[in-house]
Structure 1
Amino acid sequence: MRLLLPAVLLACGLVACAPASQVLQVPTIDVQTVRLTRLSLPGGLGGPPVADLKLRLRVTNPNAVPLKMSNIVAALVIDGAQVGQAEFPRVNVPARGSADQDADVSIPVTLGTAASFLKVARGQQVTYRLDGTFTADFGPLGPKNFGPFTLSQGVWKQTPILPF
């Protein structure tokens, strides 16, 4: 019994020396809505071909301090093929809360990506993914860079915007 007590005290002391769990948790980004509003194709007249998108993002902050997110950059992947890159505006998120952010994004369309955008424009269902990075400024705790990783993913189907 005399040897057991020092062993228990030693074990408790070692547990107290173990590193604390992570102080900051990764904020999450979810796409609430995504809509293709305009599509101009390569070879068309009237400027460079682009896909104009409207996105509504919901950023959730699980931390006890508010954060300011910036440098949100994501690659848009449709049905497994990367079709372009998008940058999103800054968003301020309260502690243990969430905030919605609307973003208008224009992505250049190439001959290689036109088929993916045509599927969306015709109202066909596709899968999408946003892979990216962002910086979160936690005020007194300072900024922290996150990523690269998948920010959000889902299924995208909308009312057709092209008659063919």
Structure 2
Amino acid sequence: MRSRLIWLVAMLALALPACASLGALAPVVQMPRIEVAEGRQAEIRLVAPTLQRPLGGASVRLWARVQNPNPFGLTLSAVDGLLFLEGRQTAGVDFPLGLPLAAVGDTVIPLDIGISFADVPGMADVLRQALDGSPIGYRLDGSMRVDAGVLGQPSFGPTTLLQDTLHVRR
């Protein structure tokens, strides 16, 4: 019995440092790829003034295809960044996602962003384009975090995550 206990303690002593070093494997985790989802149109919808948005605002929906290039599953924990419309910084974004991604899998997700016109001076040109029904160029710059279990929780970016045009939804 005593020899089993000694053997168990010896195995634990060897295993614990090995487990602690697994976090060093985080560099083997590849960044998920994110791109504009085919067949899904990004859209902007004008929102009437409310108590929270006295000057009104807009609601933007972007569609993203997220691909996991890794041979193991992971969770896309968050996407943080900035939305630009026609080259103007328009809104900060912070998506706590918790989106599971299968090994070498992909999925399409909506990213909904609210914009208050009170927070964005100089949006007259973008508003005019929206009212005319013209497409509006957008860019989402940011970083993403993943949870890869024992391989760690690496962050990737900043980088341009998505870039395309929005169309007015009426």
- Does the TM-score normalized on the shorter chain lie above 0.5? yes
For structure 1, the residue ranges without an aligned partner over 5 or more in a row are 1-21
Secondary structure, counterpart of 1:85 in structure 2: strand
Match of 2:104 in 1: 96
Match of 1:124 in 2: 134
Q: Indicate whether 1:108 and 2:113 are aligned.
A: no
TM-score by length of 2: 0.69
Match of 2:147 in 1: 137
* 1:136-160 residue CA offsets vs partner (Å, 9 max, x unmatched): 111221110111110111133345x
Identical aligned residues as a percent: 30
Instruction: Give the direction of change, closer, same or farther, for the CA distance of 1:121–1:86 in structure 2 (3 Å limit).
Output: farther
Secondary structure, counterpart of 2:72 in structure 1: coil
RMSD: 2.2
Instruction: Give the direction of change, closer, same or farther, for the CA distance of 1:144–1:122 in structure 2 (3 Å limit).
Output: same
Match of 2:62 in 1: 55
Q: Indicate whether 1:24 and 2:29 are aligned.
A: yes
Q: Indicate whether 1:156 and 2:145 are aligned.
A: no
Secondary structure, counterpart of 1:143 in structure 2: coil
Structure number having the greater helix percentage: 2
Instruction: Give the direction of change, closer, same or farther, for the CA distance of 1:80–1:141 in structure 2 (3 Å limit).
Output: same
Question: 8 Å contact 1:39–1:50 — kept in the other structure?
Answer: yes
Question: 8 Å contact 1:130–1:150 — kept in the other structure?
Answer: yes
Aligned residue type for 1:84: A
Shift of 1:60: 0.6
Name the count of aligned residue pairs: 136
Higher relative contact order (CA 8 A, sep 6+): 2
Aligned residue type for 2:147: D
For structure 2, the residue ranges without an aligned partner over 5 or more in a row are 1-26
Match of 2:77 in 1: 70
Question: 8 Å contact 1:51–1:107 — kept in the other structure?
Answer: yes
Question: 8 Å contact 1:39–1:117 — kept in the other structure?
Answer: no
Q: Hey, what's the Cα distance between the residues in 1 that align with 2:131 and 2:75?
A: 34
Aligned residue type for 2:157: G
Secondary structure, counterpart of 2:35 in structure 1: strand
Shift of 1:114: 4.4
